[in-house]
Amino acid sequence: MRKSVIVAVCAALGTGVSAMTPAAGTPAASAPAVRTVFIGDSYTANFGIAPTTAPSGCFRAVDNYPAVATGLLAAEGVPLDVQADVSCGAAEIHHVWTPQELLGDAVAEPQKEALRPDTQLVVGSLGGNTVGFAPMMKQCSRQLRGLAGALLPVQPVDRNSPASECADFFENGDGAAWLRDRFTTVRTDLRRMFAEIRAQSPDATTVLVGYPRIIPEDTTKCLAAIPGGFRKPLADINQEALKFLDKEVQKPLNDLMDSEARAAGAAFVDIYDHSGTHTACDGEQRGIGAMLELSEAKLGLARLPWFVHPNRTGRDLQADLVARAVEELVTT
């Protein structure tokens, strides 16, 4: 099972891992249901899309990409037996083995508790919160440090360093050491995550799903307001900072996730390289909700901003790539 899933994901998305392929000609209709657990953070939970399901503090959309991908596969005669979806907004990698505090006094149990000895497939995205992408966004935006960003529950890395100088802060200042430490933690935590999953589900394959691209190659596209709105898609973050966040944070994070997955004998689904025309700055085609654009999600009666999470277009892209990969597993 482990080898078959890796081959399927690699064949569908070009990850480059080689292994023996399953026997050709197996009809999809005869494939047994694959016992699957979805784990992950807000990009798996699809924060911003409503309605949501319990626990409320996770903001897990009923129609998140795991649910949509499962439906796509069912329509193709490729069944998943979803044992659980424990993806949760704000989850860091260590929440695979430690409890996660939610709103109020609520607590989500460690995500590994959903895994069973007979689980065959574990799928999800983790790493973005561990690397600290949200506080970095706040570090780079004066607007987000004010009332406009009050609902983004993180602090900038160093409030005393001007937002306009954040690229230099992360390249040469105290932020550079902070960022190196965050990447070291991502690497260490990913290794433990794969080990924890193996301990819970020895025969399961882990499929780590990468993050979609937020910032386009041409950052001048981020200077225009979103269609039908008046705010820029990435608030007041300047182009130098945007280029740094894309090339020195998001792309390296995805590359690190890819390399650690391979080293662990797991698979990696590349979303970044398949979403370059659906960034937050791609107008009507954007697959990422703009930073301060109101989403579908609510906290009480107040609608929450997207805070650069996949909208329904981006969710569908995630679901399609994951579904194609899993379909390849049972039909190749």
Query: Residue 330: what pLDDT?
Result: 59
CB atoms within 10 A of CB 76: 16
| Mean pLDDT, rounded, for 232-239 | 97
Query: Residue 332: what pLDDT?
Result: 61
How would DSSP label each residue in 37-102?
Answer: EE--SHHHHTTT-SSEESSGGG-EETT-HHHHHHHHHHHTT--EEEEEE---TT--GGGGTS-EE-
pLDDT digits (tens, 9 = 90+) for 205-235: 889 999 999 999 999 999 999 999 999 999 9
Residue 248 and residue 256 in contact, taking contact as beta carbons nearer than 8 Å: no
Q: For the whole prediction, is pTM greater than 0.85? A: yes
pLDDT digits (tens, 9 = 90+) for 78-89: 899 999 999 999
Query: Residue 26: what pLDDT?
Result: 40
Q: Residue 196 and residue 309: Cα distance in Å, rounded?
A: 27
Residue 327 pLDDT grade (very low, low, confident, very high; cuts 50, 70, 90): confident
Query: Residue 1: what pLDDT?
Result: 45
pLDDT digits (tens, 9 = 90+) for 262-308: 999 998 999 999 999 999 999 999 999 999 999 999 988 889 999 99
pLDDT digits (tens, 9 = 90+) for 6-65: 333 333 333 333 232 333 344 445 568 999 999 999 999 999 999 999 998 999 999 999
The mean pLDDT value of the chain amounts to 90
Poorest-pLDDT segment among 2-6, 69-73, 164-168, 206-210:
2-6
Q: Residue 89 and residue 217: Cα distance in Å, rounded?
A: 27
Estimate the crossing angle of helix 2-13 against helix 312-331, to 10 degrees: 130
Query: Residue 6: what pLDDT?
Result: 37
Amino acid sitting at position 188: T
Residue 125 and residue 210 in contact, taking contact as beta carbons nearer than 8 Å: yes
Structure tokens that stand for 99 in this block: 């409890």
